[in-house]
Each structure stands twice: as structure tokens, then as C-alpha cells.
Structure 1
Amino acid sequence: MSAVEQIVYVVDDDQGMLDSTVWLLESIGLRAIPFISGQAFLDAKLASSHACVILDVRMPGMGGLNVQEALRSRGLDLPIIFVSGHADVPIVVRAFRAGAVDFIEKPYNEQLLLDSVQQVLNRFNELASESLLGAVVQRIASLTPRESDVLLPLVQGYTNREIAEQLGISVKTIDLYRSRVMKHMQAQTLPDLVGMAIAADLVDSLALRGVAVSD
């Protein structure tokens, strides 16, 4: 699976704070996109996934809590990390009740902010992995009994000839089933197929004989 670009939107009416936050994020290799106002942020074309928002609470025109509400009304469930130099309990409670993932006071500790951002982005990676694993498990479950018979020894490193001897059928038939297994599992190569089997706990990686790329 190809990596999906992760974006951090930074919304703050303080230009100096905005610039320093963007620089901080870019210093660890993240892509940060700045906005000087809540309205400018809402007017932009936003990614619906693999992105989070660092959002100032108090800004002229549209404050952070109103931006949060506008995002929810549009169906954009972007994780929001609020920052504020004037936080009080009612504001913090309202932000969290509306789904904020964190609330950090200004001037913020740089590492604290980075840790919060990384925690959100790592969760995206976990969800992507869970989604991919679920798809692999579904593909395995969709195999026919004979395809399943071929899959296991195939990923264990047995050759087509050895599998044919185990199952008591011809090598030509194994070639056919091997091709079908690769297609149904959406595996481009045999190592890809082995990786799927290991991820799905179908085989123990320490017990593999060594994958034969060709017979």
C-alpha cells in the first residue's frame, strides 16, 4: 500500500505564532499548511482524511469553536488540537464535548505539541493497517477449499511440484490454482502473498522454509 500524505492545517491569526508552528512541524518532516483566519481555512479545499488541525480558539471574526462546529456540519471529521492563551474551563469542556482531541495552552511546549500531532497521525496509520488487514482476511475467507489447500503450502515455501505431491494432483493443476490464489488475494508477487499470510496469522514467519520465487 502506498503511503498517504499526512497534512497538518495550522489556523492562527497571530502571524508570528503561525509561522513558528509551521516551521516546527516542517522541521520534523510534516507538511503544514497555514491559515491566518478561520474563514480562510473553511474556504480552502480540505482533505477529508489523513489530516489534523491545530486551531486557535480566539480569533477575530470566526473563533476556533465556531470553526469546529462548521467542520462538523460539513461532515469533515478532522481531529482538532486546540491552542489558546486564554483558555477557561467552559471553553475547554465545550471543545472536548464537540470532539477535540487535545487542548494546549499558549505559549505551548514544542515537544508537547509535536507529541499530540504525532499521536493523531499515528492513529491514522493504525486505522489504515487495520483496514488493510481486514481486506486480507476477507480475501482469504473468499477462497475455495482447494485454493485454501494450495495457499498454505505455497506461502510456507513449498514448490509447485511438492504441493502437487502433497495434494495428489498434477503440477499443471497446481499452476492453475496458484494463479487463481494470486488473483483472488490481489498479490502481485509471491513475497506479497507471504506478507499477507503472516499479517493474517495464517503462518508463522519463523517457520517458513524460504519462499521460492519460481519452480
Structure 2
Amino acid sequence: MSDRRLVHIIDDEDSVRNSIGFMLQTTGYSVRPWQSGALFLRELRNAEPGCILLDIRMPEIDGLQVQQQLNARGVTMPVIVLTGHGDVTIAVKAMRAGAVDFLEKPFEAEQLLCSIDKAFERMGETSSASRTDAARTQISSLSAREREVLEGLAAGYPNKTIAYDLGISPRTVEVHRANLMQKLGARSLSEALRVTFTAEMGQI
């Protein structure tokens, strides 16, 4: 892998592509901007391997559909999903489809760079089985109740719904959620979801 790692920025907003592209170039990355997911898919055969920053809300074909197409074509480039309209349901769909991370605009530059580092770490890994084993080990550290709360989050449910389903208070769900996040080493919902789906939990 070259020193200047490539990041594909797929977003229909010029300002977003330009600002993210400038920031990444000044921190040592190569950047290839794309105005739409449809254009990226059309040129996919000629696209150099790299990390994909993928906006959700785009005309013609949205980010989740692009992600589905990439999976269907066997593309293994890591995907980071970006959205200005984030919610748990979209996060769950993106993470279940294999996204490395999920970032809601506006995000801090440090958040993005951290996510990109994780994406390139995944590219460097030789075995998906090793990731699965590591994730399962993390999941095994959870209590039975923490696993139930995590399964609720993986299904896209808010805390109140999980509390109702489990017959406990929303405050208790918050406590279990904080504990499981700590045990999984997750600083965000997307990180917890990544461990969950890597361990092949939360399947429909």
C-alpha cells in the first residue's frame, strides 16, 4: 500500500466534497471525489482500491443502495457512511451491510480521520474470520441483560422501546447500554453495531 492512501468521496454536495477533500489532502491522503453514487458505480471497474466515504442522501441512487450494489459485486473496499439526516434505523442498515462506521454531519475532523484509520486497518487485515472471532470474544464478556439491550439496539429500537420489551425502566436500559459500550470498547453506537454485526448477531 502506498504512503498516500486513497479516499473516494461520494457526495452530491460540492461544498462537502471540497471541504473534506481539502482536509484529507492536507493530512496526507489522496482523494478522488465523485458527484454521485451512480457515477461511482459506472466507473467502479476502473476505481483504484481505497476507503469510500459515502453520503446517504443523494439523488438517483442513495448511499444505502450504493452499498448494496458494492456488496452484490463483491467489492471489499471499506465504507464509511455519512449523513445529515442520521437516525438509528439508517445506522443499523448501514452497519449491517458492512459499513466500518457511521458519521452524522457535521462531524469533527478527528472523528473522520479516526474512522478512516479503522477503514484502512480493515483493508490490511487478511482474514474476516479473525475479526469475527475477536468480536465474538468481546460479545461474550457481556451479561445476559446487556446482550438483550444490545440486540434491541441492533434491531434499531430506541431505549424506551427496549425498556418496554424487557420490562425494565429506560434509566436501567441507559445503565446497561453504558456498561456494554464500555465492555465493547465502543465510543459510539456505530462502533457497538460494528462489533455486533461482525459477531453475526442481530441478523434478520
Fold conserved (TM > 0.5)?
yes
In structure 1, what is the Cα distance between the partners aligned to 2:87 and 2:101?
14
Cα 1:28–1:104 change in 2 (3 A) is same
In structure 2, what is the Cα distance between the partners aligned to 1:80 and 1:32?
15
Superposition RMSD on alpha carbons, in Å?
Answer: 1.9
Deviations 1:83-117 (A, max 9, x none): 10101111111111110110000011111001110
Query: What's the counterpart of residue 39 of structure 2?
Result: 40
In structure 2, what is the Cα distance between the partners aligned to 1:6 and 1:16?
22
Q: Does residue 119 in structure 1 map to residue 118 in structure 2?
A: yes
In structure 1, what is the Cα distance between the partners aligned to 2:84 and 2:69?
22
For structure 2, the residue ranges without an aligned partner over 5 or more in a row are 128-204
Q: How do 1:1-215 residues align onto structure 2 when only pairs under 5 Å count? A: 3=2, 6-44=5-43, 45-47=46-48, 49=49, 51-125=50-124, 127=126
Q: TM-score, normalised by structure 2?
A: 0.57
For structure 1, the residue ranges without an aligned partner over 5 or more in a row are 129-215
Q: Which has the larger radius of gyration?
A: 1
Task: Measure how far apart 1:4 and its partner are.
Answer: 7.2
Considering Cα pairs closer than 8 Å and 6+ residues apart, tell me whether 1 or 2 has the greater RCO.
2
Runs of 4+ in structure 1 over 3 Å off: 2-5, 122-128
Cα 1:91–1:126 change in 2 (3 A) is closer
Deviations 1:176-201 (A, max 9, x none): xxxxxxxxxxxxxxxxxxxxxxxxxx
Q: Secondary structure at the match of 1:62?
A: coil
- Is the deviation greater in 99-108 or in 2-11? 2-11
Count, aligned residues: 125
In structure 1, what is the Cα distance between the partners aligned to 2:15 and 2:65?
23
Q: Secondary structure at the match of 2:32?
A: strand
Over the matched positions of the two proteins, sequence identity in percent amounts to 38
- Supply the AA of the counterpart residue of 2:19: S
